[in-house]
Structure 1
Amino acid sequence: MKKLPLLTPRKASLIDLETANKLFAEIMQLGIPFGYQQANCHNISHYIRTFLESKGYQCGKIWAFAPVVYSMNSSRLITFVDKKNVSPTGKIDWGYHVAPILQVRIGNKVRKMVIDPGLFPKNIVRYRTWLAKLRTRKLIYLIMDSEWYLYNSSMITNSQIQYNSNDFSEPIKPNVQLPDWFSDKLITDFFKYEEEALEQHWIEKGLAINETAMAFYNAEIKPILHCKKQLDLLNDYKMLVGNVFNFETIFRDNNWNYEMDDHFQFKHQNIIAKYREIYFLNLQKWQESLASINETILLKKRKK
């Protein structure tokens, strides 16, 4: 397991354990949909990061990458049992995982503590405890400034990429300077929450997807999980909700794919219409929530 500390010195707030626990309790009251673990950890993490900033604190982020993400020679994922039994395969697979990280003074030491209620719903945990929970061989991780929203990857390694816009201009530098040992990795850079991501409300859409999926699970899937007479319907619902790509295709993108084809969508048109409306209500809620948090941050900056 290799690490890369890219956390700018003194940029992340140094807080005591009591403050950290208080912030964790406040985060648990925000209604963030931690229960749907199929996807959107980056959106949840950035929402929490923004909330912490509105409270006057800066966090970092810890990123964990499975070999399937950074290497062409492995298909190994972060894999664990889906305890809700909503996934068609019975497993949840991640190529990567990310969570906010706090610098917490405990006694005479400073500990890096992770906020990840999806994996640890009771409290913050040491980052090594968090990494151990992922249980993936050849995992690599980065501890970074929290401003980086998501990473870029490529089909070729860093050493093969030429950062030139054209033959006559200065080289285009990546946003994050990765170390030499990253030269054979497919993770090439990171980017901030701006431009297309900001304009298209990626965070709010991610949170709305997860919340809508949880609503679907609780109302439609959970009651028939052990009903043999409803097995065909259950399998269809699992294919829809348990596979986040299918769920996003239907509700976020209003589109289709080879599983969510015309036949499937016609067959389940009523339930899709119902939850499409729920999705847009959730989206509006998260847009208003994030706008309110950003307004608080802006007001604090104006007072300085």
Structure 2
Amino acid sequence: MKKHPLLTPRKASVIDLNTANDLFAEIMQSGIPFGYQQANCHNISHYISMLLASKGYQCAKIWAFAPVVYSTSSSKLISFADKKNISPNGKIDWGYHVAPILQVRIGNKVRKMVIDPGLFPKSPVRYRTWLAKLKTRKLIYLIVDSVWYLFNSSVIPNSQLQPDLNTVQPNVKLPDWFSDKLITDFFKYEEDSLEQHWIEKGLAVNETAMAFYDTEIKPILQSKQQQDLVADYKMLVGNVFNFETIFRDGNWNYEMDNNFQFRHQIIIAKYRQIYFGNLSKWQCKLALLMPL
């Protein structure tokens, strides 16, 4: 694994361990939907960074990239068993993962501690413990300022991109060893992402998916008589692209076709209403955290 911290010196707050644990407890009580692990780690991480900033603390972020994201020659994902048994294939697959980092003074050293209740629900953990949990060969990572919301990528490596003097220069100068990688830059939560409420939509998707799982899937998961229904629900909820297609986008795809949506029209209508209620709630909550 390789690293290259891109932290602005002294920008991230340095706090003691008790404060870190107190902030972790507040985050756990904030209503963030950590239970649905299929997607939206970038939205959860950015919301946490804004929540911490509202309390006077600046965090950083750690981004871990699987080979499938940064390389043209590998399809390797971050992959682990889905303990909730909600995914159609029984696995959680990520191309990347991101979480906030706190700089925590322990004794006479400052440790980088990750906040990721989806993986570590009890407390912050050292960033190397977090990386080890991902169990992915040839994983690469960057530690960056929290202002960077998401990354851009290309179909060709950085070294093959032709610089254009008429285009906007990259926001972040990536390390030299990124020359053969497909990740090209990071961007802030502004313009399209801000105007189209990407964070709020991501949090609403995760919260609605967990409500669906708890109410509709979990009670019948072990029922032999209802395995066809379970399979359909897993296809809908366990695959985040399908879930977003139906509830966020109001659209269809080859799995969520007209026949599928007709068969489940009542429950889709029910959870579409729940989704929009959650979206409205997260829009209100995020508005309170936005800088004036």
TM-score class, shorter: over 0.9
What does residue 201 of structure 1 align with?
Answer: 197
Partner of residue 49, structure 1? 49
Match in the other structure for 1:120: 120
Aligned counterpart, 1:29 = 29
Q: 2:183 aligns with which of 173, 182, 187?
A: 187
Residue aligned with 2:64, SS: strand
Specify the code of the residue in structure 2 equivalent to 1:140. I
Task: Find runs of 4+ consecutive structure 1 residues off by over 6 angstroms.
Answer: none
Q: CA deviation at 1:171?
A: 5.5
Contact conserved, 1:78 with 1:93, CA < 8 A, in 2?
Answer: yes
Paired amino acid for 1:36:
Y
The one-letter amino acid of 2:149's match is Y
Q: CA deviation at 1:4?
A: 1.3
Aligned pair 1:8/2:4, yes or no?
A: no
* Residue of structure 2 equivalent to 1:163: 163
Q: 1:302 aligns to what? A: none
Question: CA–CA distance in 1 between the matches of 2:253 and 2:162?
Answer: 34
Matched, 1:99 2:110: no
* Aligned residue in 2 for 1:280: 276
Deviation at 1:179, TM superposition (A): 1.6
- Picking from 207, 224, 229, the partner of 1:228 is 224
What SS does the corresponding residue of 1:231 show, helix, strand or coil?
A: helix
Q: TM-score, normalised by structure 2?
A: 0.99
Q: Distance in 1 between matches of 2:211 and 2:118?
A: 16
Quote how far apart the aligned CAs of 1:161 are: 1.0
SS of equivalent to 1:113: strand
CA distance in 1, matches of 2:40, 2:92: 13
TM superposition shift of 1:214: 0.1
Once the two structures are TM-superposed, the CA of residue 163 in structure 1 deviates from its matched residue by: 3.2
Alignment deviations for residues 59-79 of structure 1 (CA, whole Å, 9 cap, x no partner): 000000000000010011000
TM score, norm. by length of structure 1: 0.95
Aligned AA (1:103)? Q
Q: What residue in structure 1 maps to residue 170 of structure 2?
A: 174
Aligned residues: CA RMSD? 0.8
Residues in 2 aligned to 1:272 and 1:82: alpha-carbon distance in whole angstroms: 24
Partner of 1:301: none
What are the residue-to-residue correspondences of 1:35-74 with 2, within 5 Å?
Answer: 35-74=35-74
Q: CA deviation at 1:244?
A: 0.1
Provide the C-alpha distance between the structure 1 equivalents of 2:232 and 2:166, rounded to a whole number of angstroms.
53
Aligned length: 292
Percent identity over paired residues:
80
* Distance in structure 1 (CA, Å) of the matches to 2:215 and 2:163: 50
Q: SS in structure 2 opposite 1:6?
A: coil
SS, match of residue 258 in structure 1: coil
- Give the secondary-structure state (helix, strand or coil) at the position aligned to 1:3: coil
SS for the counterpart of 1:2 is coil
1:87 corresponds in structure 2 to 87
Q: Give the residue type in structure 2 aligned to 1:89.
A: N
Report the secondary structure of 2:184's partner residue: strand
Rounded to whole Å, the distance in 1 between the matches of 2:248 and 2:167 is: 37
Cα pair 1:163 1:172 within 8 Å, conserved: no
1:244-289, Cα deviation, whole Å (9 max, x unpaired): 0000000000000000000000010000000000000000000000
| Per-residue CA distance 1:160-203 (angstroms, 9 max, x = gap) | 11231xxxx55531111012111100001110000000000000
- Supply the distance in 1 between the matched residues of 2:21 and 2:163 (Cα, whole angstroms): 43
Structure 1 runs not aligned, ≥5 long? 299-304
1: CA distance between counterparts of 2:46 and 2:269?
A: 30
Structure 1: how far apart are the matches of 2:49 and 2:255?
35
Structure 2 letter corresponding to 1:83: K
For 2:170, the aligned partner's letter is P
* Residue in structure 1 matched with residue 234 of structure 2 by the alignment: 238
Letter in 2 for 1:232: D
Aligned to 1:211: 207
Q: CA deviation at 1:106?
A: 0.4
Query: What is the one-letter code of the residue matched to 1:88?
Result: P
Is the contact made by 1:79 and 1:92 (CA closer than 8 Å) also made in structure 2? yes
